[in-house]
């Protein structure tokens, strides 16, 4: 187990270097960040050259990358377009997005599993049919449509929830955005749970549990669910990483100043330190989430042992 974890951590190094290099090149290809800094006005050539020199933009790309990586390991992610250090932006942005992700994951886990179990146990019943149609609709509609729709209906027309989120982004304001962010994954969790529950309900060990004279809630809760939820839990784990990076659209709609918002601003203003910095952190979160999921898998299923 210990050796497995070490091997997995070592495997992260090339993935980390590869992704950051890729992002670095892509941002570089966006164009000249210095002229973007001056907006519509033509920059004074001397000032522009000075800025280029300060930001090492006059160096070749490989050297820029190495300088950037060296900075990262000393905790220096560079400076954002407004003069703030990128680390400062991260300090405000990540807690907000983490809160949003927690809301989304909770919605996915609770409602997805609940609906999935009910429809999986009563296949072809009215609940099952309704859930299938509903999940299909949710999967088919893009996030920006559900987002603006819910914002309009719940926030503006009926006024039951705030239409936009304040700067502090407390949990209660994040419920509707969390729902929007979770929608597609929620549909997926529901379907995944439904399939595994229906599959396991026919398994021999469930028949054994019934033959032992166990009450139904115990047959379903201890025997059926314990097995059915293994793939669901692993999906939820990997989804954490995806949700944190994928909140871009949702954060724009509800004016949440989280990771997605800062990334959007960074791209808009061709500010490479912001973009590369945030993406780097997201990559690390994604890799760690994946590792934790794999380790969790071995805990949930005793048949799996890593060596």
Partner 1 sequence: MTTTTEKSVNPQAGKAGTPLLEVRDLHVEFRTRDGVAKAVNGVNYSVSAGETLAVLGESGSGKSVTAQAIMGILDSPPGFVTQGQINFQGRDLLKLSEKERRRIRGAKMAMIFQDALSSLNPVLTVGYQLGEMFRVHQGMSRKDAKAKAIELMDRVRIPAARERVNDYPHQFSGGMRQRIMIAMALALEPDLIIADEPTTALDVTVQAQVMDLLAELQREYHMGLILITHDLGVVADVADKIAVMYAGRIVETAPVHELYKQPAHPYTRGLLDSIPRLDQKGQELYAIKGLPPNLLRIPSGCAFNPRCPMAQDVCRTDIPVLHPVTDSRGSACHFWKETLDG
Q: Of 230-289, which residues contact partner 1 (CB under 8 A)?
A: 230
Cα angle, residue 30 at apex, residues 28 and 36 outer, rounded to 5° = 100
Is residue 122 within the footprint of partner 1 (CB under 8 A)?
A: no
CB 212 to partner 1: min, Å: 4
Q: Of 69-108, which residues contact partner 1 (CB under 8 A)?
A: none
Is residue 211 within the footprint of partner 1 (CB under 8 A)?
A: yes
Is residue 303 within the footprint of partner 1 (CB under 8 A)?
A: yes
On whether the CB atoms of residues 25 and 279 are closer than 8 A, the answer is no
Choose which of 99, 191, 194, 223 interacts with partner 1 (CB under 8 A): 223
On whether the CB atoms of residues 201 and 216 are closer than 8 A, the answer is no
CB 222 to partner 1: min, Å: 8
Q: Give the gyration radius of the chain's Cα atoms.
A: 24
Choose which of 51, 161, 163, 214 interacts with partner 1 (CB under 8 A): 214
**Residue given tokens 């918002």 in the structure block:** 261
Q: Which of 118, 108, 109 is nearest to 220 (CA)?
A: 118
CB 182 to partner 1: min, Å: 27
On whether the CB atoms of residues 104 and 178 are closer than 8 A, the answer is yes
End-to-end CA distance of the chain: 6
Is residue 212 within the footprint of partner 1 (CB under 8 A)?
A: yes
Q: Of 188-207, which residues contact partner 1 (CB under 8 A)?
A: 202-205, 207
Residue 74: CB partners within 8 Å, gap ≥ 6?
none
Is residue 144 within the footprint of partner 1 (CB under 8 A)?
A: no
Which token pair is 45? 């050539």
CB 205 to partner 1: min, Å: 4
In whole angstroms, what is the distance from residue 92 CA to residue 87 CA? 9
Residue 41 vs 303, nearer CB to partner 1: 303
Please, what is the angle between helix 2-29 and helix 61-73, to 10°? 130
In whole angstroms, what is the distance from residue 27 CA to residue 276 CA? 8
CB 116 to partner 1: min, Å: 18
Is residue 295 within the footprint of partner 1 (CB under 8 A)?
A: no
Is residue 307 within the footprint of partner 1 (CB under 8 A)?
A: no
Please give the distance of CA 94 from its chain centroid, rounded to a whole number. Answer: 12
Is residue 302 within the footprint of partner 1 (CB under 8 A)?
A: yes
Is residue 215 within the footprint of partner 1 (CB under 8 A)?
A: yes
CB 240 to partner 1: min, Å: 23
Is residue 293 within the footprint of partner 1 (CB under 8 A)?
A: no
CB 161 to partner 1: min, Å: 40
Applying CB under 8 A, the residues found at the interface with partner 1 are 202-205, 207-215, 217-218, 222-223, 226-227, 230, 300-303
């Amino acid at each position: 187990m210990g050796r497995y974890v070490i091997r997995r951590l070592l495997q992260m190094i090339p993935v980390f270097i590869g992704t950051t290099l890729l992002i670095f090149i892509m941002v570089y290809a966006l164009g000249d960040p210095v002229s973007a800094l001056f907006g519509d006005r033509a920059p004074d050539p001397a000032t522009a050259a000075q800025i280029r020199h300060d930001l090492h933009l006059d160096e070749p790309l490989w050297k820029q990358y190495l300088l950037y990586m060296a900075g990262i390991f000393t905790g220096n992610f560079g400076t954002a377009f407004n003069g703030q250090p990128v680390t400062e932006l991260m300090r405000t942005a990540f807690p907000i997005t983490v809160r949003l992700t927690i809301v989304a994951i909770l919605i996915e886990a609770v409602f997805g599993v609940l609906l999935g179990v009910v429809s999986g146990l009563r296949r072809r019943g009215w609940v099952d049919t309704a859930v299938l149609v509903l999940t299909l609709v949710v999967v088919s509609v893009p996030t920006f449509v559900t987002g603006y729709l819910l914002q309009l209906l719940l926030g503006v027309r009926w006024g039951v929830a705030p239409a936009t989120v304040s700067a502090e982004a407390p949990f209660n304001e994040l419920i509707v955005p969390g729902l929007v962010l979770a929608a597609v994954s929620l549909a997926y969790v529901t379907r995944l749970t439904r399939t595994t529950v229906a599959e396991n309900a026919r398994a021999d060990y469930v028949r054994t549990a019934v033959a032992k004279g166990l009450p139904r809630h115990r047959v379903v809760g201890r025997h059926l669910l314990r097995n059915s939820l293994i793939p669901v839990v692993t999906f939820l784990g990997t989804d954490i990483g995806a949700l944190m990076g994928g909140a871009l659209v949702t954060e724009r709609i509800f004016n949440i100043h989280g990771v997605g918002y800062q990334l959007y601003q960074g791209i808009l203003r061709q500010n490479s330190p912001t973009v590369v910095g945030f993406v780097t952190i997201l990559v690390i979160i994604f890799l760690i989430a994946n590792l934790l999921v794999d380790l969790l898998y071995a805990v949930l299923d005793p048949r799996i042992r890593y060596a």
